[in-house]
A and B are shown apart, each in its own frame.
Chain A
Amino acid sequence: MSSDQLPITNYLLPITHYHYMKLQKLLRDDRFWQIAGQAIAFLLVVILIALLWDNLTYNLRQLGIQLGFDFLGVQASFDIGETVIPYDPSNSYGQAIFVGLINSLRVVVLGLILATIFGLIFGIAQLSDNWLVQRLAVAYVEIFRNVPLLLQLFFWYFAVFLNLPGIENPIALFGAAYLTGQGVFFPWIEATAGAGIWLVLLLVGIVSAIALWRWRGRVMVERGRAGNQIWYALGSILGAIAIAFILTRSIPFRLNLPQATQGQIEGGLRLSPEFCALLAGLVIYTSSYIAEIVRAGILAVPKGQWEAARALGLKPNRIMQMVILPQALRVIIPPLTSQYLNLAKNSSLAIAVGFPDVYFVASTTFNQTGRAVEVMLLIMMTYLTTSLTISLVMNLYNRSVQIKER
C-alpha cells in the first residue's frame, strides 16, 4: 500500500494503521456492540435513577416533607363503607388499607371466575353452527371490547344499578332475590355449629372426586373401558356428605332468605350497588376478551383432529373433552393469563363507582396524610404481588398442559 493512501489520522495522531484496522474489526464485532449496548443502557439507567433520587430528596426537603412508613400506625379517623372484617375509624391507616385489600380480592376472585365462565360460553358460542347464536356472540364481543371499561362502569352504576327502585318496592326475582337501588339481596347459606367438619369433609370429597375423574379418564384412554367418570366423582362427593352427616347427625347449613317487610329487607346476602356495578362491568369487559381468546384457541386446533375424532366414532362432548380442549388449552392459557392480570389491575377503577378497594383507600390515605411516595410504593407492592401470584399459578398450570418434549 502506498503512503498517500494511509488515513489522515496517521499524520495527526500517533495511531498506526494497525490500530485503525483493530478499531474497524472491533466495530464490526457483534459481541462488542452487545456489551457496549448493555453497558450504555446500564449507565443511562444508573444516571437516571441518581438524578431522579437527587431531585426527589431536594424537592421533599424544600417542601418540608419526610419519608417514612410510620404514618401507617396513626389513627385513620375515616370510615369505610363496605368491610368484610370489623373496622372502625379508630383503627390505623394500615388496617384501613388491609380492609381495602380484602375488598379488592373479593372483586378480583369473583370476577375471575365469572369472567372465565362467560368468556367460555361466548367463545364457544362464536363457533356454533347456529347462525343466530354465532352472530349474537360476535356482536357481544365486538360491542364490549371496543368501549372503554371506565365508561361501562359509569353506565352500569349510574344508569342501571342506581336506577333500580327504592327499597320500599323492590323488584323481586322468583320471589327469592330482590333488586333495589340500595343493593341486591340474594338467598345465602349460613353455617352453624358443626359446619367445620362438613367443610373439611366436603373439601376432601371434592379433591378425591377430581383425582377419581382423572384416573377414570386415563383408564378410558389406556384400556378402552367405560370410564363412568361422572359416577365416580359424584359418588365421592356423596360419600363425603354421607360421612359428614353420620358424624354430626345434622345439616349445619341454613338457608337465609331475604324477606321484604314494610320498607326494609331483612336477611339474605346483600351486595351493594357499587360492588355489583364494578363486578358487572369487569366481568362483561374481560369476558369479551376471553371469548376471543377461547375462539382463537379452539380454531388453532387443526381441522384434521376433529375429523379424525369423528372418524373414530367419538361423541361430540367426548371430542371436546378429550381431543380438542387439551390442545386448545395450550394456545389459550398464555393470553388468558394476561387477561386475568388485566382484570386484577382494572379492579382499581373501583374508585370511579365509590367501591372502597385498596387503591381507593390508599388514595384516601394519601389525601389525609400527604405521603405520596410511601402510598405509591404500597400500591405498587400490592398490585405487583397480586400480579405475580396470578402469573405464577397460571404458569404452573400452563406447564402442565404444554406438550412434554424431550
Chain B
Amino acid sequence: MFKRSLLLLGVALVATPLAACSQFYAQSPQPQGTAQPGASPAAGGTLDAAKSRGRLVCGVSGTLPGFSYVDQAGKYSGLDVDICRAVAAALFDDPNAVDFRNLNAKERFTALQAGEVDILSRNTTWTISRDTSVGLEFLPVTFYDGQGVMVRKSAGTKDLKGLQGKAVCMETGTTTEQNFADQMRKLGVKYTPLVFDDANAVYAAYEQGRCQAVSTDRSGLVSRRTTLKNPQDNIILETLLSKEPLAPAVKNGDSRWYDAVKWTIYGLIEAEELGINSQNIDQFAKSQDPVVRRLLGTEGNLGQGAGLPNDFVARAIRKVGNYGEIYSRNLGPGTQFNLPRGQNDIWAKGGLHYAPPFR
C-alpha cells in the first residue's frame, strides 16, 4: 500500500513537467504562410545569431579550385568563398570574419538544415525538389553552368554515344547521377555508372583508369582537370547535359536572413552593371547619381529593411569587389581556368546576371 502510493506519487511528479514541456513545444511553431515583415520566426534569427557571433559560418566544398579550395596553409579561395566573404564584409565590414566548413555533397543539405552553417555556398544546383522538399531557400544564381563530361583524349570519344559500354565515374548526392541517367536513357546508350561518396575518390578512380569518363558540372571538370597528373591528356566534351544554375542557399523559414544575403549578392551584380568596382568606389561615393547613391547607401535607408547597415553594398564592394572582379579573380584570364564569361556576364553584355532595382 505504501509502496504503491509512493510509486503513484513519483509518476505524477514526473509526468507533470513532461506535459508542460510538450505544451511549450506545441505552441511555438507558426504556420508556414505567415511571414511578418521584420519579425524573425522561432526557428530563424540567423541574422541575429551571426551578428552576435561576429562571424559568418559558410559551408563550402574546399576541394574545387576556382570555386572553393583550401590550400595546405589553410587559406580559402574561390568564387563561392568570395561570395561568403562579400556577405561577411556587408555584415561586419571584415571579409575575413568567416569560418569555413568543408562539406561533401552528401552532407551539405543536412548541415544547412541543422544550422551548422549559415550559408551554403557550395556550387549547388537550384532545383525544384531542393527548394521545396529538402527545405532550402536558394539565393540568386552566382554561376550559370551545365553538366559536362570529361574523357581522355586518347580514347577519341566525340560525344555521349561514344560512351557505349564504358564506365563513368560520378559523385553521389548530386544532380549528376539523375541527369546522366536521363540523357543516356534518351539516347539509348548503355553505360556503367560508378558512384563514390567522395569527389577525391571519383577522380582517383578516373586517373587509375577504372572509368573512362567523369561527369559533373562543367566548371567542376575544368577546375579538377588542373589537379590531374597530365591535364592536357583530358578533354571536356562540348555536349552539355543539363542546365545547372549554381546558387548559394540558406535554410527555409528565415526570410530576414534570406533577404539580407539575397540583396547583398544582387548588390554585387548591380555594382558591376553600374561600373562600380573596388578601385573606383571612393569616386563613386561622391557621385550625384541617385541610383548610385541609393546603392551605396549615401542616400535613403534601403539597408534597414534588410536588417543591414545602409552602406552594406559599399562595404562588400570595397573589401571584396563586384561580381566581375570576383569572377576574374577566380576564373578569369589571369587564372589557370580562363573561363569566358559567356552566360555569366551581366545582362547588358549578353549574359544572364540581372539584378532587380535598388529602390
Instruction: List residues of chain A with CB under 8 Å of any chain B CB.
Output: 22-23, 26, 32, 35-36, 39-40, 43, 47, 50-51, 54-55, 58-59, 61-65, 77-81, 88-90, 158, 162-163, 166, 181-182, 273-274, 351-352, 354, 356, 360, 363-364, 367-370, 372
Minimum distance in angstroms from B5 CB to a CB of chain A: 12
Q: Which residues of A contact B133 (CB under 8 A)?
A: 65, 369-370
Task: Return chain B residues, CB-CB under 8 Å to A81.
Answer: 167, 192-195
By the criterion of a CB under 8 Å from any partner CB, how many residues of chain B are at the interface? 55
Chain A residue numbers with a CB within 8 Å of B3 are: 26, 32, 35
A354 near B196 with CB under 8 A, answer yes
One of A43, A50, A63, A354 near B113 (C-beta < 8 A): A63
* Contact string against A for B residues 179-190, beta-carbon threshold 8 Å, 1 for contact and 0 otherwise: 011101100000
* B26 & A370 in contact (Cβ 8 Å cutoff): no
A258 to chain B, nearest CB (A): 17
- Residues on B with C-beta less than 8 A from A352 are 197, 201
Measured in the bound complex, the distance between the Cα atoms of B113 and A90 in whole Å is 30
Taking a contact as CB atoms closer than 8 A, the residue among B11, B110, B209 that contacts A372 in the complex is B110
20 of the cross-chain contacts (CB-CB < 8 Å) are: A22-B2, A32-B3, A35-B7, A39-B7, A40-B10, A58-B28, A62-B41, A62-B252, A77-B182, A78-B178, A79-B193, A80-B193, A81-B192, A162-B205, A181-B210, A182-B167, A182-B210, A356-B195, A367-B174, A368-B178
Residues in B whose Cβ lies below 8 Å from that of A23: 2
Nearest chain A CB to B154's CB is how many angstroms away? 12
In the complex, are the beta carbons of B10 and A162 less than 8 A apart? no
Is B185 a contact of A89 with CB atoms below 8 Å?
A: yes
| Cβ-closest 6 pairs across A and B | A370-B134, A63-B135, A89-B181, A367-B173, A162-B208, A78-B177
Would you call B173 and A58 a contact (CB within 8 A)? no
Closest to B172 in A: A364
B52, CB-defined interface residue at 8 Å: no
Q: Scoring B residues 195 to 214 as 1 if CB is less than 8 Å from chain A, else 0, what string do you get?
A: 11100010011001110000
Which chain B positions have C-beta within 8 A of A61?
29
B128 within 8 A of A: no
B312 at the A/B interface (Cβ < 8 Å)? no
Tell me whether B253 is interfacial, beta carbon within 8 Å: yes
B209–A363 touching, CB < 8 Å: no
B283 at the interface (CB under 8 A from A): no
Q: Is B279 located at the chain interface by the 8 A CB criterion?
A: no
A370–B127 Cα gap in the complex (Å)? 13
Q: In whole angstroms, how far apart are the Cα atoms of A165 and B137 in the complex?
A: 47
Residues of B within 8 A of A35 (CB): 3, 7
**B32 CB–A CB distance under 8 Å:** yes
Instruction: Check A354/B181 contact, CB under 8 A, given A39-B7, A55-B25, A369-B133.
Output: no
Contact B208 A363, beta carbon cutoff 8 Å: no
Cβ-defined contact, B25 with A58, below 8 A: yes
Cβ of B34 to closest chain A Cβ, rounded Å: 13
B210 nearest in chain A by CB position: A162
State how many angstroms separate the Cβ of A7 from the closest Cβ of chain B.
18
Q: How far is the CA of A370 from the CA of B32 in the complex (A)?
A: 19
Please, which residues of chain B bring their CB within 8 A of the CB of A182? 167, 210
B113 touches A79 (CB 8 A): no
**Nearest CB on B from A40, distance (A):** 8
Residues of the A chain whose Cβ atoms lie less than 8 Å from the Cβ of B73? none
Query: Is B18 on the interface with A (CB-CB < 8 A)?
Result: yes
B348 on interface, CB distance cutoff 8 Å: no
Residues of chain B with a CB closer than 8 A to A274's CB:
194
Min CB gap A130→B, angstroms: 40
Set A62, A78, A360: member contacting B43, Cβ < 8 A? A62
Q: Are A54 and B25 in touch, CB under 8 angstroms?
A: yes
Is A354 in contact with B135, judged by CB distance below 8 angstroms?
no
Closest-CB distance, B35 to chain A (whole angstroms): 13
- Give bound CA distance, A89 to B179, whole Å: 11
Question: Quick check: is B105 within 8 A (CB to CB) of the other chain?
Answer: yes
Q: Within the assembled complex, what's the spacing in Å between the Cα atoms of A93 and B342?
A: 37
Within 8 A of A (CB), among B237-253: 251-253
Could you tell me if A158 and B193 are in contact, using CB atoms closer than 8 angstroms?
Answer: no
A58 to B26, CA, bound (A): 7
